[in-house]
Amino acid sequence: MGNLATKHLAIGLTVLSLVGLAGYEEATRGRLRSLTIKNTSLAIKYVRTEGVFQYLSKNEIQTVLQPLVMASFFDLDMQTIHAVVATLPWVDTVTVKRIWPDAIDIKIYEKKPYARWGVNSLITEQGHIFTPKDIEKFTNMTLVNGPESQELKVLEIMKGIKTALLDQSMSLTEFNINDRGAWQIKLSTGLEIQLGRNEQLKKLQRFLETLAVLKQEQVEQMAVVDLRYPNGYAVSWKPGITEIDWNAIANPDNQLKVHDRAM
C-alpha cells in the first residue's frame, strides 16, 4: 500500500507540473502577443505640426522628423524629437506630445528677426542670434555688430539711436560697436558718423541739433562726420563737393552787412 500511494503521489505531482508548464506557456504566449501588438500595431500614422510659419518650411521639419517617427507609439523618443526640431535655425520654441493612439502633435513658434547681426546671422528683438541658410531677403534690415554676450545691450542702444535719427527724418542702416567700445553708425544716405568711446549719445544729439542751420542738400553731401571732439566735429565731404563756409553759417549777420555794403 505504501508503495502504491507513493506512485499515485508522484503521478499527481507530474500532472500538476505539466499543467503548470502549459499554463505558464499559454500566459507567456499571451504576453508576447501583447508586446508584439504594442511594437507593431501602434505605429505612428500622423505627425501634426502647428504654427504660423513665415520663414520656416514644413518640408524642412518633415525631413528632420522622418527618421525619428518610425518607432511605435510607446517607443518614440520624445526628448530627441524635441531636441532635433529645436535645433532648426528658425525655431524659437517647440512642444511635442503623443496623441493616442497613432499620432504626435508638434507646436512650433517661429523666430522673428529684428536686425542683421554680422555677416551671416540675424538677431531677434530679445537678443537671440541665429544663422539661417539664406539671409539675402533681409538686406533691408539694419546691420548690427557688437561684442559677444552684449547683444541685448547693443540692441537697446541701437533702438535709441534709431529713434533720435527718425526725429530728423534720417534712417539708420548700420550700427557698430568694436572691441574697444567705439561706436560707428551709417545712414541710408551713405553718411558715416564716428561717435568714439565716450558720451556717444550726447555727441550725437549735439550734431543733430546743428542740422537746423544746414540745408537738406548740405547734409546729404556729407561723407563722414567725426564727433570724437570735445566741443565740435569734423566733416569730410563727398567727392566734387564744395565745402561749407561755417563762418558764414555761424555769423549770418556779418554776411548781411557785407551784402549791404556791396549794394
CATH of the domain at 67: 3.10.20.310
Question: Shortest CA distance to 188 belongs to which of 197, 175, 201?
Answer: 175
- Please indicate, yes or no, whether residues 152 and 254 belong to a single structural domain of this protein: yes
> Reduced to 3 states, what is the DSSP secondary structure of residue 251?
coil
CATH number (domain holding residue 183)? 3.40.50.11690
Residue 73 phi, psi (nearest 5): -55, -40
| Whether residues 121 and 74 fall in one domain | no
| Judgement on whether residues 142 and 239 belong to the same structural domain of the protein | yes
Is residue 34 very low, low, confident or very high in pLDDT (cuts 50, 70, 90)?
Answer: very low
- The last residue of one of the domains, among 110, 129, 149, is 110
Whether 66 and 171 map to the same domain: the answer is: no
pLDDT over 70 for what percent of the chain?
76
Work out the average pLDDT over 58-82. Answer: 91
Same domain, 128 and 184: yes
Predicted pLDDT of residue 7? 47
Question: Per the domain annotation, does 151 fall within a domain?
Answer: yes
Residues 81 and 197 occupy one common structural domain: no
Asked whether residue 89 is assigned to any structural domain, the reply reads yes
Residue 258 has, within 13 A of its CA and on its CB side, a CA count of 6
Residue with cell 499543467: 19
Tell me how many domains the chain contains. 2
Question: Which residue type is seen at 119?
Answer: V
Q: pLDDT category, 88, cuts 50, 70, 90?
A: very high
Q: Please say whether the beta carbons of 52 and 110 come within 8 A.
A: yes
148 and 250 share one domain: yes
**Across 99-123, average pLDDT:** 95
Domain boundary among 94, 110, 126: 110
pLDDT value at 239 more than 60: yes
Max mean pLDDT among 13-22, 114-123, 254-263 falls in 114-123
CA-CA distance, 124 to 13, in Å (whole number)? Answer: 78
Q: DSSP letter for 168, please.
A: T
Same domain for 95 and 147, yes or no, is no
Q: What is the pTM of this model?
A: 0.74
Specify the pLDDT at position 36: 41
Residue 5 has pLDDT above 80, yes or no: no
H-state helical runs in 58-124:
58-65, 78-86
- Tell me the residue range of the domain where 201 lies: 114-262
128 pLDDT higher than 90 = yes
128 and 175 share one domain:
yes
pLDDT in tens, 42-69: 888 999 999 999 999 888 999 999 999 8
Residues 125 and 222 in one domain: yes
The sign of the torsion formed by the CA atoms of 29, 32, 37, 40 equals: negative
pLDDT at 38: 45
Closest CA to 213 of 244, 167, 249: 249
